[in-house]
Structure 1
Amino acid sequence: MTPTVRRTRRRAAHLALLLAAVFTVVSGLSPAAPAFAEPNEGSSKTLAQLRENLEVAAKGYLEAQAALEASQASQKALNAELLAAEADTERLRSFVAQYAAEAYKTGKIGMVSLMINGTEPGSLLSKASAMDRMTQRDEARMNDYRARKQEVTAKKAAIEIQLKLQQDAFKEIEKRKKAADQALRAVDGRSSSGYINPNSPLAKPAPRNANGSWPSEGCSIKDPTTSGCITPRTLWAMNQAKANGFKRYVSCHRSGGGGEHPKGRACDFASATGGFTNYSASGGDRTYGNNLASFFIKNASRLGVMYVIWYCKIWINGAWKTYDSAGSNCGDNPAGDHTNHVHLSML
């Protein structure tokens, strides 16, 4: 006769198998691995050096990009002012031509030359008594013409300066791109295609300095995802992601390890609905990660994004590269390979 306890164990085992089968049929998935509070992205001397090098390269790239954008905006404004000044100069030129013709007939051409090319308003006033046929209106027009000529010259010189600044910015951008490539080559960071969604929503731009540069920020704001702190710009980016529908679990500040987490300039966005899981995202979870990575990339210049890591790839300085931080096949280490979360690093 079979002991009762053995029959009970068999029933429990059968029940467990039945529940597992029911779960598989209902959900269409295998039982999920447990969720973790935060991913262990790995730490090593090589990885720490890589992160440091990438930070320097990306920071320099973003600063040069901000300088380029500011210079281009300044040039655009100067061009508009130059067009207005040239239009006024051309309008006044017809008056000067008419008056010069009249002055030539009356023998006052020398005085007109002084009026056009003079640099001191006082010298113009001192000659007023000799110009018996020049009215106060004529005198004002001559002064205006001379001022506009000087303004046109100054605007052209200012535009030349902005063009030189843009050339310098382009050179710096290329320099920083090469620096990032060199850092990634040490970990086999080859060029790669990535996740770009042209239909990603636009984020509201983060605050900048008056000249268009990014303000220096410290870890000064309470991190709503942990007990630590983050920078205002990191909080802005996280809130913009949430405002555009990316509302799954997020973890930002981390007291230990390298990279930007301890500085409050990085966040990890879980791809699974239940939080960080120890398996690679697939199906809808992977689509969620693709779309979130695309959102940060499309809005990189608006938010101050240094780089984005997702599914064994890193987007930095305008391009995707492979990212083999875990030293394994992609997905063998979901946290280190970033196949279960999107990593965001901010300037």
Structure 2
Amino acid sequence: MPRTRLIRRRAGRPLLALLAAAALLLGAGLAPAGPAAAAPSPSAPDEGGSKQLRAALEAAAKGHIEAQARLDNSKRRQVALNGQLKQIELRLVELKAQVGEVAAHSYRVGRLTPVSALLASTDPDSFLQRAAELDVMAQRDSRRLRDLHEAQAEATQAKVALDAEVREQQKQLAILAKKKRDAEIALAKVSSGSSRGFSGGSGSAKPAPRNPDGSWPAESCSVNDPTPADGCITPRTLHMLQQAKAAGYKRYVSCHRSGGGGEHPKGRACDFSAASGGFENVSATGGDKAYGDSLASYLKNNASKLGVMYVIWYRQIWMPNTGWRSYSGGGSPAADHTNHVHVSMY
């Protein structure tokens, strides 16, 4: 080969390398994320189970959350009623003492009748003064008796209300027990029992808005889904996403899904990728597994603040009425949730 041609070929190699590197960098900056960031394959089981399982899990979890909210609200009312009853009882003691003084005075000196009081007057001015005093005494004694009767009626009403709250709490506890049984029955086909769960994840999320009685407000798929999935999500789901991001969980996440069942089409579920580059068709290990562990624990620790219905991660599912349970969704990383953390919202 001629020497001049060899020199030209060698001189061109650095230029080609530089052009290739530049193209790679530009492509990485402009391309969305490539196949790794795509959503789970449509052929994979949605949320790793059948439609019947998802419906049963949703019903059991929602029923538990609603019953727990009613129970907590009833306990708050009971505390308030107990405080009210104590105040009434203290007032009753004072009123009874006042009425007792009037009765004791009448017993000692005899009941002062209007006739005897007026006959004891020595002149017209004294007569008028006695008449005014009699009117004041009558009003005072009448008010004391009326206050006493009203306080007794209030005490009776407070006790009736307390009894009603006790019955309400017993009712909600029975519902909680039933919903736990429902969840265990639903999970029996995909779960082999309790599990240890995961470590990490703080409990410092900002609470989502609740109704005055402590229940969760009904929400529709009404706000823009900020994830690449595109579509709509509920305001509570958006709040959860924002809180998770603020806590440091910033890897790829996909929420809305137009097809299939479960909560994704309702804007009430999200899938958080364990890998930093997006969903991968392999089970997470090392740092990716630790990231998923921490995120799953964070969602569980903040469930009552955020409105989390259940969490699925790495062959385990957490529900508020069962705790962590083992979970088998079908064997693949997507179905068994070993490559992403799934969260369903109330």
Taking structure 1 as the reference length, the TM-score comes to 0.77
How far is the alpha carbon of 1:91 from its aligned partner?
A: 2.5
In the TM superposition, residue 213 of structure 1 has moved relative to its aligned partner by 1.7
- State the alpha-carbon separation in 2 of the partners of residues 103 and 293 from structure 1: 75
In structure 2, list runs of 5 or more residues that go unmatched: 1-33, 113-130
Q: Which residue of 1 aligns with 2:87?
A: 84
Find the aligned partners of 1:196 and 1:173 in 2 and give their Cα distance.
26
Q: Is the 8 A contact 1:34 1:278 kept in 2?
A: no
The letter for the 1-side match of 2:325 is K
Other-structure match for 2:115:
none
Amino acid at match of 2:327: Y
1:206-242 residue CA offsets vs partner (Å, 9 max, x unmatched): 2122222222211111111132111111111111212
Cα RMSD after superposing both structures: 2.6
Q: How does 1:44-55 map to 2 (within 5 A)?
A: 47-55=50-58
SS at match of 2:137: coil
| Structure 2 residue matching 1:134: 3-state secondary structure | helix
Deviation by residue 1:140-172 (Cα, 9 ceiling, x = unmatched): 333323222211111111111111111111110
Q: 1:288 to 1:135 in 2, by over 3 A?
A: farther
Give the letter aligned to residue 335 of structure 2: G
Aligned position for 1:223: 225
Per the alignment, residue 304 of structure 1 pairs with 307
Describe the superposition over 1:45-91 as per-residue Cα deviations: whole angstroms up to 9, x where unpaired. Answer: 96221111111111111111111111111111111222222222222
1:223 corresponds to which letter in structure 2?
A: D
Counterpart Cα distance in 2 of 1:233 and 1:294: 19
Residue 206 of structure 1 pairs with residue 205 of structure 2: no
* Distance of aligned partners of 1:43 and 1:212 in 2 relative to their CA distance in 1, 3 Å threshold: closer
Instruction: State the distance in 2 between where 1:157 and 1:129 align.
Output: 42
Quickly say closer, same or farther: Cα 1:196–1:144, change in 2 above 3 A.
Answer: farther
Equivalence for 1:7? none
CA distance 1:309–1:132, change in 2 (3 Å): same
Structure-1 separation of matches of 2:53 and 2:306:
23
Contact 1:187 1:325 in 2 (8 A): yes
Deviates more, 1:83-92 or 1:153-162: 83-92
The residue type equivalent to 1:38 in the other structure is: A
Aligned 8 A contact 2:48 2:335 in 1: no
Report the counterpart of residue 291 of structure 1 in structure 2: 294
Once the two structures are superposed, the pairs formed by residues 1-347 of structure 1 within 5 Å of their partners are 35-40=36-41, 41-43=44-46, 47-108=50-111, 134=137, 136-195=139-198, 197=200, 200-225=202-227, 226-318=229-321, 319-326=323-330, 328=331, 333-347=332-346
Residue-by-residue CA offset, 1:175-222 (whole Å, 9 max, x unaligned): 01111110111224422221255x723222221222222222111111
Residues 225 and 233 in structure 2, CA contact (< 8 A), matched pair in contact too: yes
> How far, CA to CA, are the matches of 1:43 and 1:211 in structure 2?
34
* Whole-Å separation in 2 of the counterparts to 1:343 and 1:107: 83
CA contact under 8 A between 1:196 and 1:297: conserved in structure 2?
no
Bigger drift between 277-286 and 44-53 goes to 44-53
Conserved? CA contact 2:49–2:335, under 8 Å: no
Supply the distance in 2 between the matched residues of 1:236 and 1:243 (Cα, whole angstroms): 10
Following the alignment from structure 1 to structure 2, what is the Cα–Cα distance between the partners of residues 246 and 44? 21
Amino acid in the other structure paired with 1:211: D
Amino acid at match of 1:219: C
Q: Give how far 1:132 is off.
A: 5.6
Mark the CA change 1:141 to 1:195 in structure 2 (over 3 Å): closer, same or farther: farther
Q: Are the equivalent residues in 1 in contact too, given 2:48–2:329 (CA < 8 A)?
A: no
For the residues of structure 2 that align with 1:157 and 1:99, how far apart are their CA atoms? 31
Alpha-carbon separation, structure 1, partners of 2:223 and 2:111: 73
Unaligned runs of 5+ in 1: 1-32, 110-127
Larger radius of gyration: 2
Taking a change above 3 Å as real, the CA distance of residues 253 and 202 of structure 1, as seen in their structure-2 partners, is: same
Contact 2:48–2:337 (Cα < 8 Å) also in 1: no
Whether the aligned pair in 1 keeps the contact of 2:236 and 2:306 (CA below 8 Å) is yes
Deviations 1:89-109 (CA, angstroms, capped at 9, x unpaired): 222222222222123335559
Contact 1:72 1:162 in 2 (8 A): yes
SS of equivalent to 2:284: coil
TM, length-normalised to structure 2: 0.77
